[in-house]
């Protein structure tokens, strides 16, 4: 999977490693944001569809919590990227 994400970066042959890391991080961030949006939509649909089923409502709430945790991880990863860039570049 990582090769598929990194291949466009390798094909363009940027001049510095920093540009390659920035492009890879941007691609992975976009993928994560897309998955988070899909997670929110699926959890919302599950919650709406679970009007009379308590176990499905519990599953929908768990999916919503997982989507929120994913967004928090994306935010922390973005700040960690800036911290690591400050150390090495």
Q: Tell me the C-alpha distance between 8 and 53, whole Å.
A: 46
Sole residue written with tokens 């691609």:
27
* pTM of the complete model: 0.70
Q: Tell me the C-alpha distance between 88 and 83, whole Å.
A: 9
- pLDDT block averages, 10 residues each, the chain of length 89: 59 68 85 92 92 90 93 89 78
């Amino acid at each position: 999977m990582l090769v598929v994400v990194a291949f466009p970066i390798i094909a363009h042959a940027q001049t510095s490693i920093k540009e390659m890391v920035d492009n890879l991080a941007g691609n992975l961030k976009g993928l994560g944001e897309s998955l988070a949006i899909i997670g929110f939509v699926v959890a919302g649909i599950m919650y709406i569809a679970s009007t009379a089923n308590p176990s499905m409502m519990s599953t929908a709430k768990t999916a919503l919590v997982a989507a929120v945790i994913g967004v928090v991880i994306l935010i922390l990863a973005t700040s960690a990227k800036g911290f690591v860039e400050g150390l090495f570049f």
